[in-house]
Amino acid sequence: MMIKEKSLREKSIVFIGFMGVGKTTIGRLVAQNLYRSFIDIDEQIEKKFQMPVPDVFKLLGEPAFREKEKELVNKYANQSLKVISLGGGAFMQEEIRDVCLNNCTVFYLDMPWDSWKERIHLLMADRPVLQGRSLEDIEELFYSRQAAYASHHSKVTIGKDSPEEIADYITNSLKTAWKLYE
Ligand code: S3P
């Protein structure tokens, strides 16, 4: 049986990037703009395990979290017409990178370290990966993840614009690409 390749317009859109750059907020807005359903992978993991992400790490361990993350990304990235936000660590798994890059349009939300570190106090409490680490360790983690995030289809650098402005920019650039390539 021949498997028909999805058109660019049909493909789901995936947001990647470091913790706390706004993947969920921007993803939700882009989904609204495009009348698509929005899937937040962390939220799906919480539903499956019936507990918040920090409890999953504490009670079940990071490997159980990563396994469920892989299973759910595989499920949704194979579907069409969704907008999906991934957790910041998801793209470290090769299988997740492959399924997203082969089936979806992947947007990297990039933020320079100097801007990101200003927001760290907002993130510490519910990001188990940051807890117990010094600022130097977190900076190392930040830069060590750039190599995985470098695999994407499109990149937006987050500066002073509001989430609404960024979402509108992404929506318009998607619509332009759909027109151009089809
Ligand atoms: C993680 C990022 C979090 C969440 C979990 C692990 C990571 O998602 O998946 O705490 O390893 O970077 P956000 O990127 O939405 O904060």
Distance CA 97, CA 146 (A): 13
Distance CA 178, CA 154 (A): 14
Q: What is the pTM of this model?
A: 0.96
Is residue 132 situated within a structural domain? yes
pLDDT tens sequence across 46-100: 999 999 999 999 999 999 999 999 999 999 999 999 999 999 999 999 999 999 9
Phi first, then psi: what are they for 12, rounded to 5°?
A: -70, 155
Is residue 22 situated within a structural domain? yes
Is residue 167 situated within a structural domain? yes
Helix (H) or strand (E) holding 40: strand 37-40
Give the structural domain span for 99. Answer: 12-176
**pLDDT over 80 (residue 182):** no
- Total number of domains constituting the chain: 1
Question: In the structure, which protein residues have their CB atom closer than 6 angstroms to any atom of ligand 1?
Answer: 19-20, 23, 42, 53, 87-89, 127-129
Distance CA 14, CA 107 (A): 6
User: Which CATH number is 123's domain given?
Assistant: 3.40.50.300
Is residue 182 situated within a structural domain? no
Residue 102: which residues within 8 A CB-CB, separation 6 or more? Answer: none
Closest residue CA from atom 15 of ligand 1: 87
Distance CA 102, CA 100 (A): 6
Is residue 118 situated within a structural domain? yes
Asked if 65 contacts 72 with a C-beta cutoff of 8 angstroms, the reply is no
Annotated binding-site residue numbers for Mg(2+): 24
Is residue 181 situated within a structural domain? no
- 42, 55, 120: residue to mutate for ligand 1 pocket, most atoms within 8 A of CB: 42
Is residue 7 situated within a structural domain? no
pLDDT tens sequence across 32-59: 999 999 999 999 999 999 999 999 999 9
Task: Count Cβ atoms within 10 A of the Cβ of residue 96 and give its class: 0-12 exposed, 13-18 middle, 19 or more buried.
Answer: buried
Question: Bridge-partner residues for 37, per DSSP?
Answer: 82
Q: What is the pLDDT of residue 31?
A: 98
**pLDDT over 90 (residue 116):** yes
Is residue 115 situated within a structural domain? yes
Q: What is the pLDDT of residue 1?
A: 61
Phi first, then psi: what are they for 140, rounded to 5°?
A: -65, -45
